[in-house]
């Protein structure tokens, strides 16, 4: 099946009892068993639930994978992957990461004896100098949050395979509509489903997908044992959101393109981070592994203090100043004090996450209204 068909139908079948086309919300904690251990595939909803299972199968299909797991948040999904490690293991990851990922790496798992190497992965060969017998995981996100670095998924996968280490790609910024890391060598793909996949800013959820059955079983053990699973109502909402993912992403990409070009020509903007520009350092890699360039953009305001930046960020009328991204509505975010506030200043500034940087999640509103809002906010 093609992408749009999978988004609408994968994992979903008419309800056998009523014929309902939409997957029902199975609001139950437990399931009847004919005799001990003899059941219809469901025992207790922490482990499995029919609504969540339909979502997980759909997510796997969208990433061209066999197995999917849904979690109560993207961080719960990340935590489950990290539970595969043990004290003394080492991880190679990027130097530009979502603040929540950096926080769990450094504040939780470093305390348990895991060592993390934060590396500029724009050149995948840079990984090799950090590999040793203790390296067990390579974790990347691409495009990165918020400086929109593009990492060559396939090239990093080749290094990971050669070294025999687990390879995880956070595909949140792109969504499965724009790229499929499993096809490019990833062992696991992670998503904050909260963002583009659910797409309506009404669900907090994460996901992992994989093609490796043994790996899936290991992940499922922690998924069930530790209990970071979402309820059926949220699973239903995410499944509903997926049905328009292909339509929304087309609009995000088109609006994002126009916003990026508008901002690049604005006198108050010093720099625009967007992988669609031909002079982006890894534009050709983005063009190779992505189907379009998405709706995420970061900008640096020219000669702006923190107070100036706050004033601009707080002056929008259509864009909302808020955390998160990927919803139908356009959002403005100040990473240094919001999503990346847990990263020490000296660490984040090395990769360009400065006080006068603003991250933009371009929504699907009428482009004329978005451009007009940008004009008035930047005129202050």
pLDDT at 204: 98
Catalytically annotated residue among 46, 66, 115, 218: 46
Please, are residues 188 and 167 in contact by the beta-carbon 8 Å criterion? Answer: yes
Task: Answer yes or no: do 212 and 315 share one domain.
Answer: no
List the catalytic residue out of 6, 79, 96, 98: 98
Q: What is the helix, strand, coil percentage profile of the chain, to 5? A: 40, 15, 45
Is 302 annotated in the active site? no
**Rounded Cα distance, 60 and 74, in Å:** 16
Q: Are residues 175 and 226 in the same domain?
A: yes
Q: Please check whether residues 51 and 131 belong to one and the same domain.
A: yes
Flag residues of the chain having pLDDT under 50.
none
Same domain, 259 and 134: no
pLDDT of residue 337: 95
Whether 52 is catalytic: no
The pTM of this model reads 0.96
Q: Residue 316: its pLDDT value, please?
A: 98
| Residues 227 and 304 occupy one common structural domain | no
Rounded to whole angstroms, the Cα distance separating 287 from 69 reads 29
CATH number, domain containing residue 350: 3.90.1150.10
214 with 292, same domain: the answer is no
Which one of 6, 52, 195, 348 is the catalytic residue? 195
C-alpha neighbours within 13 Å on the C-beta side of residue 205: 32
The question of whether 98 is a catalytic residue gets the answer yes
- End of a domain among 242, 257, 273? 242
**238 and 249 in a common domain:** no
Based on the fold, state whether residues 188 and 252 are members of the same structural domain: no
Residue 185's pLDDT is 98
Active site residue 240: no
- Based on the fold, state whether residues 294 and 223 are members of the same structural domain: no
Angle subtended at Cα 171 by Cα 250 and Cα 347, rounded to the nearest 5 degrees: 120
Note the pLDDT of residue 34: 87
Active-site residue, from 79, 96, 152, 170: 170
Closest CA to 207 of 328, 80, 315, 24: 80
The pLDDT score that the predictor gives to residue 38 is: 81
The total number of structural domains that make up the chain: 2
Structural domain for 333, as ranges: 245-378
């Amino acid at each position: 099946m093609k992408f749009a068909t999978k988004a609408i139908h994968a994992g979903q079948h008419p309800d056998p009892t009523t014929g309902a086309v939409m997957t029902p919300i199975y609001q139950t904690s437990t399931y009847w068993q004919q005799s001990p251990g003899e059941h219809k595939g469901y025992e207790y909803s922490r482990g499995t639930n029919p609504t969540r299972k339909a979502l997980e199968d759909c997510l796997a299909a969208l990433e061209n994978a066999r197995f999917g797991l849904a979690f109560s948040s993207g961080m719960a999904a990340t935590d489950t992957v990290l539970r595969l490690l043990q004290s003394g293991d080492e991880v190679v990851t990027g130097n530009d990461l979502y603040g929540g990922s950096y926080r769990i790496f450094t504040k939780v798992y470093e305390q348990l004896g895991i060592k993390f190497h934060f590396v500029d992965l724009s050149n995948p060969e840079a990984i090799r100098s950090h590999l040793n017998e203790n390296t067990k995981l390579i974790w990347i996100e691409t495009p990165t949050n918020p400086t929109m670095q593009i990492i060559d998924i396939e090239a990093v996968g080749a290094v990971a395979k050669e070294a025999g280490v687990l390879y995880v790609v956070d595909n949140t910024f792109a969504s499965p509509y724009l790229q499929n890391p499993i096809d490019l060598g990833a062992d696991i793909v992670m998503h904050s489903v909260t963002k583009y996949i659910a797409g309506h800013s009404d669900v907090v959820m994460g996901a992992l997908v994989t093609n490796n059955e043994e790996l899936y079983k290991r992940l499922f053990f922690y998924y069930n044992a530790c209990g970071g699973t979402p309820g059926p109502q949220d699973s239903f909402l995410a499944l509903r959101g997926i049905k328009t993912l292909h339509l929304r992403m087309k609009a995000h990409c088109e609006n994002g393109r126009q916003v990026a070009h508008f901002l690049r020509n604005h006198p108050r903007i010093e720099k625009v981070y967007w992988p669609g520009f031909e002079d982006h350092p890894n534009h050709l890699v983005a063009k190779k592994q992505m189907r379009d360039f998405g709706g995420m953009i970061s900008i640096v305001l020219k000669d702006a203090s923190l107070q100036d930046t706050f004033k601009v960020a707080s002056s929008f009328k259509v864009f909302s100043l808020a955390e998160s991204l990927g919803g139908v509505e356009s959002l403005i975010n100040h990473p240094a004090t919001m999503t990346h506030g847990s990263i020490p200043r000296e660490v984040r500034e090395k990769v360009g996450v400065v006080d006068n940087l603003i991250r933009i999640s371009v929504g699907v509103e009428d482009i004329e209204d978005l451009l007009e809002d940008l004009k008035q906010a930047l005129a202050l």
